[in-house]
Chain A
Amino acid sequence: MKEGNAISRRKFMIMTGLACAAVVSSSSIGSLLKPAVAEGAKKPEKENINDVLKKFFGDRKIEMSHVKLKTPIIAENGAVVPVTIISDLPMEKDNYVKKIYIFVDENYHPFTASAELSPANGKAALALRIKMRKTSNVRAILETNTGKLYGAQKAVKVTIGGCGG
Protein backbone atom coordinates (compact mmCIF):
# COMPACT_ATOMS: atom_id res chain seq x y z
CA MET A 1 0.00 0.00 0.00
CA LYS A 2 1.53 3.26 -1.16
CA GLU A 3 1.12 6.22 1.16
CA GLY A 4 0.59 9.79 0.07
CA ASN A 5 -2.03 10.44 -2.66
CA ALA A 6 -3.17 6.82 -3.09
CA ILE A 7 -6.61 5.96 -1.77
CA SER A 8 -6.70 2.90 0.42
CA ARG A 9 -8.62 -0.09 -0.96
CA ARG A 10 -11.03 0.01 1.97
CA LYS A 11 -11.84 3.66 1.33
CA PHE A 12 -12.37 2.99 -2.34
CA MET A 13 -14.78 0.11 -1.71
CA ILE A 14 -16.81 2.21 0.73
CA MET A 15 -16.94 5.11 -1.75
CA THR A 16 -17.99 2.83 -4.60
CA GLY A 17 -20.61 1.19 -2.47
CA LEU A 18 -22.10 4.52 -1.45
CA ALA A 19 -21.99 5.78 -5.03
CA CYS A 20 -23.80 2.66 -6.28
CA ALA A 21 -26.43 2.99 -3.60
CA ALA A 22 -26.96 6.63 -4.53
CA VAL A 23 -27.30 5.80 -8.23
CA VAL A 24 -29.66 2.92 -7.61
CA SER A 25 -31.96 4.70 -5.24
CA SER A 26 -32.29 7.85 -7.31
CA SER A 27 -32.51 6.49 -10.83
CA SER A 28 -35.16 4.47 -12.55
CA ILE A 29 -32.96 1.43 -12.07
CA GLY A 30 -33.85 1.75 -8.41
CA SER A 31 -37.54 1.62 -9.17
CA LEU A 32 -37.04 -1.81 -10.68
CA LEU A 33 -35.88 -3.00 -7.31
CA LYS A 34 -38.77 -1.53 -5.36
CA PRO A 35 -41.81 -3.74 -4.86
CA ALA A 36 -44.37 -3.10 -7.55
CA VAL A 37 -47.12 -1.56 -5.47
CA ALA A 38 -49.16 1.24 -7.00
CA GLU A 39 -48.48 4.40 -5.12
CA GLY A 40 -51.19 6.98 -4.91
CA ALA A 41 -54.10 5.72 -2.90
CA LYS A 42 -53.08 4.20 0.38
CA LYS A 43 -53.93 0.54 0.45
CA PRO A 44 -57.30 0.20 2.18
CA GLU A 45 -57.78 -1.80 5.33
CA LYS A 46 -58.91 -5.28 4.36
CA GLU A 47 -62.26 -6.08 5.89
CA ASN A 48 -62.57 -9.56 7.34
CA ILE A 49 -65.31 -11.56 5.61
CA ASN A 50 -66.76 -12.73 8.92
CA ASP A 51 -67.03 -9.16 10.19
CA VAL A 52 -68.74 -8.16 6.95
CA LEU A 53 -71.22 -11.04 7.10
CA LYS A 54 -71.95 -10.16 10.71
CA LYS A 55 -72.58 -6.54 9.70
CA PHE A 56 -75.05 -7.62 7.03
CA PHE A 57 -76.74 -10.59 8.67
CA GLY A 58 -75.89 -10.47 12.36
CA ASP A 59 -76.01 -13.93 13.86
CA ARG A 60 -78.75 -15.22 11.54
CA LYS A 61 -78.21 -18.69 10.19
CA ILE A 62 -77.42 -19.05 6.50
CA GLU A 63 -78.60 -22.40 5.11
CA MET A 64 -76.23 -23.71 2.47
CA SER A 65 -78.91 -25.13 0.22
CA HIS A 66 -81.28 -24.17 -2.61
CA VAL A 67 -78.60 -22.04 -4.24
CA LYS A 68 -76.43 -23.00 -7.19
CA LEU A 69 -73.35 -20.85 -7.75
CA LYS A 70 -71.49 -21.24 -11.03
CA THR A 71 -67.98 -19.80 -11.33
CA PRO A 72 -64.90 -20.76 -13.31
CA ILE A 73 -62.48 -22.95 -11.35
CA ILE A 74 -59.59 -20.84 -12.59
CA ALA A 75 -60.21 -17.23 -13.63
CA GLU A 76 -58.12 -16.33 -16.66
CA ASN A 77 -58.16 -12.72 -15.54
CA GLY A 78 -59.18 -11.68 -12.03
CA ALA A 79 -60.62 -8.42 -13.36
CA VAL A 80 -63.49 -10.22 -15.12
CA VAL A 81 -64.86 -13.32 -13.42
CA PRO A 82 -68.33 -14.47 -14.57
CA VAL A 83 -70.54 -15.52 -11.68
CA THR A 84 -73.98 -17.10 -12.08
CA ILE A 85 -76.42 -17.60 -9.21
CA ILE A 86 -79.56 -19.70 -9.64
CA SER A 87 -82.04 -20.78 -7.01
CA ASP A 88 -85.11 -23.00 -7.07
CA LEU A 89 -86.74 -20.97 -4.32
CA PRO A 90 -90.23 -19.73 -5.31
CA MET A 91 -90.92 -16.21 -6.56
CA GLU A 92 -94.59 -15.95 -5.60
CA LYS A 93 -96.52 -13.05 -4.20
CA ASP A 94 -96.04 -13.93 -0.53
CA ASN A 95 -93.04 -16.18 -0.82
CA TYR A 96 -90.12 -14.91 -2.83
CA VAL A 97 -86.42 -14.11 -2.76
CA LYS A 98 -86.18 -10.41 -2.07
CA LYS A 99 -82.41 -9.89 -2.23
CA ILE A 100 -79.30 -11.57 -3.60
CA TYR A 101 -75.88 -10.61 -2.19
CA ILE A 102 -72.46 -11.37 -3.66
CA PHE A 103 -69.28 -11.36 -1.54
CA VAL A 104 -65.64 -12.05 -2.44
CA ASP A 105 -63.77 -13.04 0.73
CA GLU A 106 -60.33 -11.80 -0.23
CA ASN A 107 -61.27 -8.44 -1.75
CA TYR A 108 -60.50 -5.44 0.46
CA HIS A 109 -64.22 -4.85 0.65
CA PRO A 110 -65.86 -8.23 0.29
CA PHE A 111 -69.34 -6.83 -0.47
CA THR A 112 -69.43 -6.82 -4.26
CA ALA A 113 -73.03 -6.32 -5.35
CA SER A 114 -76.61 -6.88 -4.35
CA ALA A 115 -79.88 -7.14 -6.27
CA GLU A 116 -83.37 -6.58 -4.86
CA LEU A 117 -85.88 -8.75 -6.64
CA SER A 118 -89.66 -9.07 -6.70
CA PRO A 119 -92.12 -11.76 -7.84
CA ALA A 120 -92.16 -10.01 -11.24
CA ASN A 121 -88.70 -11.44 -11.85
CA GLY A 122 -90.13 -14.92 -11.98
CA LYS A 123 -86.84 -16.55 -11.04
CA ALA A 124 -84.31 -15.97 -8.26
CA ALA A 125 -81.27 -15.76 -10.46
CA LEU A 126 -78.52 -13.29 -11.30
CA ALA A 127 -75.37 -13.38 -13.39
CA LEU A 128 -72.67 -10.73 -13.10
CA ARG A 129 -69.01 -10.28 -14.02
CA ILE A 130 -66.97 -9.34 -10.97
CA LYS A 131 -63.43 -8.42 -9.96
CA MET A 132 -61.36 -10.63 -7.72
CA ARG A 133 -58.17 -9.40 -6.10
CA LYS A 134 -56.73 -12.87 -5.69
CA THR A 135 -57.67 -16.52 -5.24
CA SER A 136 -60.69 -16.47 -2.97
CA ASN A 137 -64.08 -17.81 -2.04
CA VAL A 138 -67.04 -16.24 -3.79
CA ARG A 139 -70.27 -16.30 -1.81
CA ALA A 140 -73.86 -15.84 -2.89
CA ILE A 141 -76.44 -15.22 -0.15
CA LEU A 142 -80.18 -15.03 -0.80
CA GLU A 143 -82.69 -13.46 1.56
CA THR A 144 -86.39 -14.27 1.31
CA ASN A 145 -89.23 -11.89 2.11
CA THR A 146 -89.69 -13.76 5.40
CA GLY A 147 -86.07 -13.15 6.35
CA LYS A 148 -84.69 -16.64 5.77
CA LEU A 149 -81.14 -16.85 4.42
CA TYR A 150 -79.77 -19.34 1.93
CA GLY A 151 -76.31 -19.40 0.45
CA ALA A 152 -73.60 -21.10 -1.56
CA GLN A 153 -69.90 -20.53 -1.94
CA LYS A 154 -67.21 -21.56 -4.37
CA ALA A 155 -63.45 -21.22 -4.44
CA VAL A 156 -62.07 -19.47 -7.53
CA LYS A 157 -58.38 -19.48 -8.36
CA VAL A 158 -56.93 -16.28 -9.76
CA THR A 159 -53.66 -16.90 -11.54
CA ILE A 160 -50.70 -14.67 -12.20
CA GLY A 161 -49.89 -14.65 -15.85
CA GLY A 162 -46.46 -14.27 -17.31
CA CYS A 163 -47.14 -12.78 -20.67
CA GLY A 164 -50.84 -12.50 -21.36
CA GLY A 165 -52.01 -11.16 -18.07
Chain B
Amino acid sequence: MHRKLMKMAICFSLLLFPLLAVKTVDAGSSDTIKEYEPNCTYEEYEKIYLDFYGNSTNEMAEEGNPADLMVDDGKDLYNTVEGTKGKSCASCHGKDGEKLVGVATKYPKYDPAIKGINTIALQINRCREKQMGAKPLKYESYDQLALELYVKSLSNGMPINVSIDGPARKFYEKGKKFYYTRMGQWNFSCALCHVKYACKRVRTNLMSPNRHHADHWPSYRLKWAKAGSIQRRFRGCMKNMRAKPLPYQSEEYRNLELFLTYQSNGLPIQVPGMRM
Protein backbone atom coordinates (compact mmCIF):
# COMPACT_ATOMS: atom_id res chain seq x y z
CA MET B 1 0.00 0.00 0.00
CA HIS B 2 2.85 2.39 0.89
CA ARG B 3 4.76 1.38 -2.26
CA LYS B 4 1.75 2.24 -4.38
CA LEU B 5 1.43 5.66 -2.73
CA MET B 6 5.16 6.23 -3.20
CA LYS B 7 4.88 5.45 -6.91
CA MET B 8 1.92 7.81 -7.23
CA ALA B 9 3.79 10.56 -5.37
CA ILE B 10 6.83 10.17 -7.62
CA CYS B 11 4.68 10.26 -10.78
CA PHE B 12 2.77 13.25 -9.44
CA SER B 13 5.91 15.26 -8.68
CA LEU B 14 7.45 14.36 -12.03
CA LEU B 15 4.37 15.82 -13.72
CA LEU B 16 4.63 19.05 -11.79
CA PHE B 17 8.41 19.33 -11.93
CA PRO B 18 8.68 21.33 -15.20
CA LEU B 19 6.34 24.01 -13.78
CA LEU B 20 8.43 24.36 -10.67
CA ALA B 21 11.78 24.29 -12.40
CA VAL B 22 14.05 27.04 -11.16
CA LYS B 23 15.41 29.26 -13.85
CA THR B 24 19.12 29.21 -13.36
CA VAL B 25 21.90 30.31 -15.62
CA ASP B 26 23.86 27.30 -16.72
CA ALA B 27 27.48 28.27 -17.16
CA GLY B 28 28.05 25.41 -19.54
CA SER B 29 30.68 22.74 -19.31
CA SER B 30 33.08 23.38 -22.17
CA ASP B 31 35.51 26.27 -22.07
CA THR B 32 35.78 26.74 -25.80
CA ILE B 33 32.87 28.49 -27.43
CA LYS B 34 31.76 27.55 -30.90
CA GLU B 35 30.95 30.98 -32.25
CA TYR B 36 28.12 31.42 -34.71
CA GLU B 37 28.39 32.93 -38.17
CA PRO B 38 26.48 36.22 -38.19
CA ASN B 39 23.33 35.70 -40.23
CA CYS B 40 23.49 39.17 -41.78
CA THR B 41 25.54 42.37 -41.80
CA TYR B 42 24.46 45.51 -40.01
CA GLU B 43 23.81 47.20 -43.35
CA GLU B 44 21.43 44.41 -44.34
CA TYR B 45 19.66 44.75 -40.99
CA GLU B 46 19.30 48.49 -41.39
CA LYS B 47 17.79 48.15 -44.83
CA ILE B 48 15.18 45.65 -43.64
CA TYR B 49 14.44 47.83 -40.59
CA LEU B 50 13.96 51.03 -42.60
CA ASP B 51 11.85 49.27 -45.22
CA PHE B 52 9.53 47.95 -42.55
CA TYR B 53 9.34 50.73 -39.95
CA GLY B 54 10.50 53.76 -41.87
CA ASN B 55 12.63 56.41 -40.25
CA SER B 56 10.21 57.73 -37.60
CA THR B 57 12.19 56.78 -34.52
CA ASN B 58 15.41 58.31 -35.89
CA GLU B 59 13.55 61.47 -36.90
CA MET B 60 12.06 61.76 -33.42
CA ALA B 61 15.53 61.31 -31.93
CA GLU B 62 16.89 64.16 -34.03
CA GLU B 63 13.98 66.49 -33.44
CA GLY B 64 13.71 66.03 -29.73
CA ASN B 65 15.09 63.35 -27.41
CA PRO B 66 13.77 63.79 -23.86
CA ALA B 67 17.05 62.36 -22.56
CA ASP B 68 18.89 65.44 -23.89
CA LEU B 69 17.46 67.33 -20.94
CA MET B 70 19.03 64.80 -18.59
CA VAL B 71 22.47 65.63 -19.95
CA ASP B 72 22.03 69.20 -18.71
CA ASP B 73 21.02 67.91 -15.31
CA GLY B 74 24.11 65.70 -15.34
CA LYS B 75 26.23 68.77 -15.94
CA ASP B 76 24.65 70.53 -12.98
CA LEU B 77 25.31 67.52 -10.77
CA TYR B 78 28.89 67.39 -12.00
CA ASN B 79 29.38 70.92 -10.72
CA THR B 80 27.62 70.34 -7.40
CA VAL B 81 29.70 69.98 -4.27
CA GLU B 82 28.67 66.90 -2.34
CA GLY B 83 30.02 64.74 0.46
CA THR B 84 32.28 65.22 3.44
CA LYS B 85 35.34 66.38 1.51
CA GLY B 86 33.72 69.48 0.04
CA LYS B 87 34.43 68.52 -3.56
CA SER B 88 32.45 68.28 -6.75
CA CYS B 89 33.33 66.17 -9.79
CA ALA B 90 34.65 69.38 -11.33
CA SER B 91 37.18 69.79 -8.52
CA CYS B 92 39.23 66.88 -9.90
CA HIS B 93 38.02 66.50 -13.45
CA GLY B 94 38.09 70.10 -14.50
CA LYS B 95 35.64 72.79 -15.48
CA ASP B 96 33.03 71.63 -17.98
CA GLY B 97 34.49 68.13 -17.78
CA GLU B 98 37.58 69.12 -19.75
CA LYS B 99 39.71 66.37 -18.25
CA LEU B 100 37.07 63.74 -19.02
CA VAL B 101 36.86 64.35 -22.75
CA GLY B 102 37.67 61.07 -24.49
CA VAL B 103 37.65 59.03 -21.30
CA ALA B 104 34.34 57.28 -22.04
CA THR B 105 35.81 55.77 -25.21
CA LYS B 106 37.97 53.51 -23.08
CA TYR B 107 35.24 52.17 -20.80
CA PRO B 108 34.53 49.48 -19.73
CA LYS B 109 38.11 48.71 -18.79
CA TYR B 110 40.11 46.48 -16.48
CA ASP B 111 40.91 48.08 -13.14
CA PRO B 112 43.47 46.35 -10.89
CA ALA B 113 41.95 48.01 -7.81
CA ILE B 114 38.79 45.93 -8.20
CA LYS B 115 40.51 43.06 -10.03
CA GLY B 116 37.79 43.21 -12.60
CA ILE B 117 36.03 45.32 -15.16
CA ASN B 118 35.19 48.90 -14.27
CA THR B 119 32.26 50.69 -15.88
CA ILE B 120 31.43 54.39 -15.85
CA ALA B 121 28.39 53.87 -13.61
CA LEU B 122 30.51 51.91 -11.14
CA GLN B 123 33.35 54.43 -11.31
CA ILE B 124 30.97 57.32 -10.60
CA ASN B 125 30.02 55.66 -7.33
CA ARG B 126 33.63 54.72 -6.48
CA CYS B 127 34.71 58.32 -7.06
CA ARG B 128 31.89 59.63 -4.94
CA GLU B 129 32.64 57.35 -2.02
CA LYS B 130 36.44 57.54 -2.06
CA GLN B 131 37.29 60.98 -3.42
CA MET B 132 34.25 62.99 -2.39
CA GLY B 133 33.06 61.19 0.74
CA ALA B 134 29.62 61.26 -0.81
CA LYS B 135 26.94 58.58 -0.84
CA PRO B 136 26.90 56.32 -3.88
CA LEU B 137 24.01 56.89 -6.26
CA LYS B 138 21.49 54.10 -6.71
CA TYR B 139 21.90 52.47 -10.11
CA GLU B 140 19.27 53.55 -12.65
CA SER B 141 18.30 56.50 -10.46
CA TYR B 142 17.82 59.81 -12.23
CA ASP B 143 21.05 61.28 -10.89
CA GLN B 144 23.19 58.22 -11.69
CA LEU B 145 21.91 58.17 -15.26
CA ALA B 146 22.24 61.92 -15.67
CA LEU B 147 25.87 61.84 -14.56
CA GLU B 148 26.69 58.84 -16.76
CA LEU B 149 25.03 60.62 -19.68
CA TYR B 150 27.00 63.77 -19.06
CA VAL B 151 30.34 61.97 -18.80
CA LYS B 152 29.69 59.98 -21.97
CA SER B 153 28.39 63.01 -23.84
CA LEU B 154 31.81 64.61 -23.39
CA SER B 155 33.11 61.95 -25.78
CA ASN B 156 30.26 62.17 -28.29
CA GLY B 157 31.50 61.58 -31.83
CA MET B 158 34.75 60.00 -30.67
CA PRO B 159 35.44 56.39 -31.65
CA ILE B 160 34.98 53.70 -29.04
CA ASN B 161 38.33 52.16 -28.18
CA VAL B 162 38.14 49.57 -25.41
CA SER B 163 41.07 47.32 -24.77
CA ILE B 164 40.92 43.57 -24.27
CA ASP B 165 44.68 43.20 -23.92
CA GLY B 166 46.52 41.92 -20.87
CA PRO B 167 44.38 41.28 -17.78
CA ALA B 168 41.22 42.46 -19.55
CA ARG B 169 41.35 39.49 -21.88
CA LYS B 170 40.18 37.00 -19.29
CA PHE B 171 37.08 39.05 -18.52
CA TYR B 172 36.36 39.67 -22.19
CA GLU B 173 36.34 35.90 -22.71
CA LYS B 174 34.02 35.48 -19.72
CA GLY B 175 31.70 38.05 -21.23
CA LYS B 176 31.75 36.23 -24.55
CA LYS B 177 30.98 32.95 -22.81
CA PHE B 178 28.00 34.54 -21.05
CA TYR B 179 26.83 35.88 -24.40
CA TYR B 180 26.80 32.35 -25.78
CA THR B 181 25.34 30.69 -22.69
CA ARG B 182 21.93 29.10 -23.08
CA MET B 183 19.62 30.24 -20.33
CA GLY B 184 16.04 30.68 -19.21
CA GLN B 185 12.91 28.71 -19.83
CA TRP B 186 13.40 28.79 -23.57
CA ASN B 187 17.08 27.97 -23.57
CA PHE B 188 17.98 31.09 -25.55
CA SER B 189 21.34 32.82 -25.57
CA CYS B 190 22.17 36.39 -26.59
CA ALA B 191 24.20 35.06 -29.51
CA LEU B 192 21.34 32.95 -30.78
CA CYS B 193 19.16 35.95 -31.64
CA HIS B 194 21.81 38.56 -32.24
CA VAL B 195 24.35 36.55 -34.21
CA LYS B 196 22.97 33.24 -35.46
CA TYR B 197 19.47 34.55 -36.21
CA ALA B 198 20.21 38.24 -36.68
CA CYS B 199 17.77 39.83 -39.15
CA LYS B 200 15.14 37.25 -38.33
CA ARG B 201 12.03 38.19 -36.37
CA VAL B 202 10.49 37.50 -33.01
CA ARG B 203 6.86 38.33 -33.78
CA THR B 204 7.34 41.68 -35.51
CA ASN B 205 10.59 42.63 -33.76
CA LEU B 206 13.59 42.45 -36.04
CA MET B 207 16.64 40.93 -34.29
CA SER B 208 19.60 43.25 -34.74
CA PRO B 209 23.21 42.12 -35.12
CA ASN B 210 25.31 43.44 -32.23
CA ARG B 211 27.62 45.86 -34.04
CA HIS B 212 25.88 49.01 -32.72
CA HIS B 213 24.54 47.57 -29.50
CA ALA B 214 26.86 49.38 -27.13
CA ASP B 215 27.43 52.75 -28.79
CA HIS B 216 24.33 54.69 -27.70
CA TRP B 217 23.89 54.04 -23.99
CA PRO B 218 22.38 55.46 -21.77
CA SER B 219 19.47 55.60 -24.16
CA TYR B 220 15.88 56.85 -24.11
CA ARG B 221 13.54 53.99 -24.84
CA LEU B 222 9.95 54.63 -25.94
CA LYS B 223 8.89 51.55 -24.03
CA TRP B 224 10.38 52.88 -20.77
CA ALA B 225 9.27 56.48 -21.40
CA LYS B 226 12.61 57.39 -19.85
CA ALA B 227 16.32 56.91 -20.26
CA GLY B 228 18.10 53.81 -18.98
CA SER B 229 21.51 52.19 -18.98
CA ILE B 230 22.77 49.30 -21.06
CA GLN B 231 22.53 47.07 -18.00
CA ARG B 232 18.86 47.88 -17.66
CA ARG B 233 18.54 46.63 -21.21
CA PHE B 234 20.43 43.46 -20.25
CA ARG B 235 17.94 42.86 -17.45
CA GLY B 236 15.02 43.50 -19.81
CA CYS B 237 16.40 41.16 -22.44
CA MET B 238 16.92 38.41 -19.87
CA LYS B 239 13.37 38.85 -18.58
CA ASN B 240 12.15 38.60 -22.18
CA MET B 241 14.15 35.36 -22.47
CA ARG B 242 12.39 34.14 -19.32
CA ALA B 243 15.70 34.05 -17.49
CA LYS B 244 16.28 35.58 -14.08
CA PRO B 245 17.91 39.02 -14.48
CA LEU B 246 21.15 39.76 -12.61
CA PRO B 247 21.82 42.75 -10.33
CA TYR B 248 23.24 45.99 -11.68
CA GLN B 249 27.02 46.03 -11.91
CA SER B 250 27.25 42.32 -11.19
CA GLU B 251 30.45 40.74 -12.47
CA GLU B 252 28.64 38.98 -15.31
CA TYR B 253 27.08 42.24 -16.53
CA ARG B 254 30.35 44.15 -16.37
CA ASN B 255 32.07 41.43 -18.38
CA LEU B 256 29.18 41.35 -20.82
CA GLU B 257 29.35 45.13 -21.19
CA LEU B 258 33.06 44.84 -22.06
CA PHE B 259 32.36 42.12 -24.60
CA LEU B 260 29.58 44.12 -26.28
CA THR B 261 31.44 47.41 -26.24
CA TYR B 262 34.38 45.73 -27.94
CA GLN B 263 32.01 44.77 -30.77
CA SER B 264 31.39 48.51 -31.25
CA ASN B 265 35.07 49.46 -31.32
CA GLY B 266 35.69 52.11 -33.92
CA LEU B 267 32.14 53.43 -33.89
CA PRO B 268 31.48 56.93 -32.52
CA ILE B 269 29.83 57.35 -29.16
CA GLN B 270 26.34 58.80 -29.70
CA VAL B 271 24.49 59.47 -26.49
CA PRO B 272 21.73 59.66 -25.56
CA GLY B 273 20.27 57.14 -27.95
CA MET B 274 16.59 56.80 -28.75
CA ARG B 275 15.14 53.39 -29.41
CA MET B 276 11.87 51.61 -29.34
Binding site for B on A (CB under 8 A): 5-6, 12, 16, 20, 23, 29, 72-77, 79-82, 129, 159-165
A79 adjacent to B225 (CB under 8 Å):
yes
Among B16, B59, B204, the residue within 8 A (CB) of A162 is B204
Q: Is the interface of A mostly helix, strand, loop or mixed?
A: loop
Task: Give B183-194 as 1s and 0s: 1 = Cβ < 8 Å from A's Cβ atoms.
Answer: 000000000010
The answer to the question of B202 belonging to the interface, with a C-beta cut-off of 8 Å to chain A, is yes
Among A16, A73, A163, the residue within 8 A (CB) of B202 is A163
B4 adjacent to A72 (CB under 8 Å):
no
B240 to A: closest C-beta gap in Å: 5
B13 to A: closest C-beta gap in Å: 11
B4 adjacent to A6 (CB under 8 Å):
yes
Contacting residues, chain A, for B275 (C-beta < 8 A): 164
Contacting residues, chain A, for B4 (C-beta < 8 A): 6
Contacting residues, chain A, for B205 (C-beta < 8 A): 161-165
Q: Known interface pairs A77-B223, A82-B60, A129-B60. Does A163 touch B54 (Cβ–Cβ under 8 Å)?
A: no
Distance A29 CA – B237 CA, assembled complex (angstroms): 21
A76 adjacent to B56 (CB under 8 Å):
yes
B222 adjacent to A79 (CB under 8 Å):
yes
29 A-B pairs whose Cβ atoms sit less than 8 Å apart in the complex:
A5-B1, A6-B4, A12-B8, A16-B12, A29-B19, A29-B20, A72-B53, A72-B56, A74-B52, A76-B53, A76-B56, A76-B57, A76-B222, A76-B276, A77-B223, A79-B225, A80-B60, A81-B56, A161-B202, A161-B203, A161-B204, A162-B204, A162-B205, A163-B193, A163-B205, A163-B237, A163-B240, A164-B275, A165-B276
Contacting residues, chain A, for B25 (C-beta < 8 A): none
The 6 closest A-B pairs by CB, nearest first: A162-B202, A162-B203, A159-B204, A77-B222, A72-B56, A161-B205
Distance A113 CA – B204 CA, assembled complex (angstroms): 29
Contacting residues, chain B, for A76 (C-beta < 8 A): 53, 56-57, 222, 276
In this complex, how many residues of chain B approach chain A with their Cβ under 8 Å: the count is 28
Chain B residue with the shortest CB-CB distance to A6: B1
A7 to B: closest C-beta gap in Å: 8
Please report which residues of chain B, range 42-98, place their CB below 8 angstroms from some CB of chain A when the two chains form the complex.
52-54, 56-57, 59-60
B227 to A: closest C-beta gap in Å: 14
Distance A79 CA – B12 CA, assembled complex (angstroms): 45
B108 to A: closest C-beta gap in Å: 24
B223 adjacent to A164 (CB under 8 Å):
yes
Please report which residues of chain B, range 191-212, place their CB below 8 angstroms from some CB of chain A when the two chains form the complex.
193, 201-205, 207
A163 adjacent to B222 (CB under 8 Å):
no
Distance A79 CA – B275 CA, assembled complex (angstroms): 12
Best-surrounded residue of B193, B203, B222, B275 (most CB of chain A within 10 A): B222
Distance A16 CA – B8 CA, assembled complex (angstroms): 10
Q: Known interface pairs A72-B54, A73-B54, A165-B276. Does A160 touch B203 (Cβ–Cβ under 8 Å)?
A: yes
Contacting residues, chain B, for A82 (C-beta < 8 A): 56, 59-60
Distance A164 CA – B193 CA, assembled complex (angstroms): 12
Contacting residues, chain B, for A74 (C-beta < 8 A): 52-54
